[in-house]
Amino acid sequence: MNMRTLFSIAMLFISVILNAQKFAGLAKTPPMGWNSWNKFACNVDEKMIREMADAMVSSGMKDAGYEYIVIDDCWQVSRDENGNIVPDPIRFSSGMKALADYIHAKGLKFGLYSCAGSKTCEGRPGGRGHEYQDARAYASWGIDYLKYDFCNTDAQKAEGAYKTMRDALYEAKRPIVFSICEWGSTEPWTWAKNVGHLWRTTSDIMNCWDCKVNWGGMGWTLILDKNEPLGKYAGPGGWNDPDILQAGNGVLTDVESRSHFTLWSLMAAPLISGNDLRSMTAAVKEILTNKEIIALNQDTLGKQGYRWWTLDGKIELWIKPLSNNDVALCFFNRSEEVKNIDFDWNRYFSNLNGKTYHVTDKMNVRDLWLKKIIGTTGNNLKAAIQPHDVLTVRLSK
């Protein structure tokens, strides 16, 4: 083998190494935004998307930290004679570039959906065999976020398929948050850290407390249980994704929506709302824009909260370490009855400190839903927690 051949092989190897990466510096905290699927499914068009961007600003959600407007499946209808993906010319008559420009002008970011298979889950053209071509199109349109599904993949291997799309996005040279959505079927938390910025850990979330459907969809509390053990895999730049929020979609009560939002925040899950932002009730708006709960989610330490203990299988204590040696705790009542707590901080100090938390009897206890200090760790925390509700506090000096 001559030197020229060796040099070519070496350059090819270097090229592979340099290109085999995702965009760094994105999703340092869990992404926040909105996705069309839970509320609208295939009923999407540019008018509604523009209105949703308007509502994200006017509702205060943008000020609270939400930034991505993501169109899920059904925006695409075909490929042209050159294989280019074609947006629905009736529903998106202005084109995706114009829509992206509108969203960007609002100070927001724009996301789209595609699929690693030959077709999307709704039978629209998928990305298989067109990854680099599609990535160039997304970059030219000004896309900031790509959700990539895994329907109609035949014998494709998930890790390989997602790496191909990752490399295509990187070569297109526009920083795009890459959302892996293969429903946790290949344990992406074990391989996706260098591939995407978030990865689904479960099947689809349903608009209910604990229901199940035959194809695998389930209520948010069951999703919660599946995502909870995976905290060691999450951190800045790569997050466990237990799916889009169902808060505000009409079946969950306001109490259940509050608990759902709180626990997604504690788990450092992406906060992607899935309701109609144009017609939120005041209660739902208050839930989704609670900056003190959002601050737990967006804490720069990037630790996923976890279930610390369960009492009688009914009331759970969740805990999340925060920057500046603060600690968040959430008492979650999964039962159908009011549960009273009388929490002795002194009894648990040694255990908390053993978990590297720096808890002393001088810390303030702030209720993050009442938005006020309710005591200190020098006295027991006493409260009555309503069915399906949470008591969420932050300890700080």
Active site residues: 149, 204
126/121 Cα distance (integer angstroms): 9
State residue 159 phi and psi, 5-degree precision: -60, -45
Element (H, E) at 134: helix 131-141
134/279 Cα distance (integer angstroms): 34
- Residue whose C-alpha is closest to residue 299's, from 275, 325, 281: 325
SS3 125: strand
Specify whether the CB–CB gap between 340 and 312 falls below 8 A.
Answer: no
Residue 88, Cα to own-chain centre: how many angstroms? 27
Give whole-number Cα distances, 119 to 59, 122, 244, in Å: 36, 8, 22
Residue 313, Cα to own-chain centre: how many angstroms? 27
Beta-carbon contacts of residue 279 (< 8 Å; ≥ 6 apart):
none
SS3 146: strand
> What does DSSP say about strands 381-385 and 339-343: parallel, antiparallel, or unpaired?
antiparallel
